[in-house]
Homo-oligomer: A and B are copies of this chain.
């Protein structure tokens, strides 16, 4: 951490800051510039709140040198993390292909889709049970009934189950029934929930990026889960909010190579929610895999025109199969 003093700061002002910081167990190094003096802090700076320094009238600004996360950092954990989702490995060269309907609607629907996506090459099954909807009047999902339907589809196909958790009161039920617990974009900074996911389960967590979150904020949310006891986190990019209104959100594929530098956690791409249009899924899924993603999460529906939600972004099973054929060729190029 570096403290930049105002140009009006005196030697006494600098000495006072130096003392205060050293009292907290850090060492300092002073650089006297022509316009301004800067104080370098040496030691574990995570305990110092930079805002408590910025308030000092003689301080111009405070800048971070090191990243504020440790457990998720590639720096302290150079090799890729490989997360085991009930036998399906993710990361370190192991790809996960999650597919399934946006919402669970019926047992027949889910089992039919599960069989189809398995045949096409998917190795996990997704399906919404509890749905985060911006309107209180919109369909909110079938809840626990949907979890049981997903379990039946797992029995039939062997595919591990991925579904979204919205509420800590359901953690035990998810621990029992679900293989990969998804945390949605709107809960990325629901810190209470993140803590409980660290404390009460070691099931893998699929942590979606918040709509306006920076990479660092996203990794800090993973760090919350990890620091509370659960190291099994997979990151999922699902599009960020931009000024563009033609698409639902803007998919950020630079996230793939950047996060692979910042963290050892796997990164999965969800092109269905990002664009919100089914015809964007194929080009973006291919682009994600050639750019180095550890997997894809794709919505597949057997009757998109009648889906209770998000049909606009779902692929039919035959289109998913065609896509997976292309994806396999891209795997060979990597």
A182 CA to B52 CA in the complex, in Å? 24
Cross-chain contact A224 with B283 (CB below 8 angstroms): no
Given contacts A51-B309, A212-B212, contact A254 B258 (CB under 8 A): no
A309 lies within 8 A of B46 (CB): no
User: B244–A214 contact, CB under 8 A?
Assistant: yes
Interface residues in chain A, defined as those with a beta carbon under 8 Å from any beta carbon in chain B? 2, 4, 7, 29, 31-36, 38, 40-44, 46-47, 49, 51-52, 54-56, 63, 65-66, 68-69, 75, 132-139, 166-169, 186-187, 189-192, 195, 211-217, 220, 223-224, 227-228, 240-247, 250-254, 256-258, 261-262, 274-276, 278-280, 283-284, 286-288, 290-292, 304-314, 326, 329-330, 333
Q: Given A309-B52, A312-B51, A247–B243 Cβ distance below 8 Å?
A: no
| Interface pair B40/A31, CB less than 8 Å apart | yes
| Minimum distance in angstroms from A151 CB to a CB of chain B | 22
Closest to A213 in B: B243
Minimum CB distance partner of A225 in chain B: B136
The interface residues of chain B lying within 8 Å CB-to-CB of A213 are 243
Residue among A43, A195, A250, A314 with the highest chain B CB neighbour number at 10 A: A250
A135 to B214, CA, bound (A): 14
Shortest distance between the CB of A250 and any CB in chain B (Å): 5
Among A41, A275, A280, which residue has the most Cβ atoms of chain B within 10 A?
A: A280
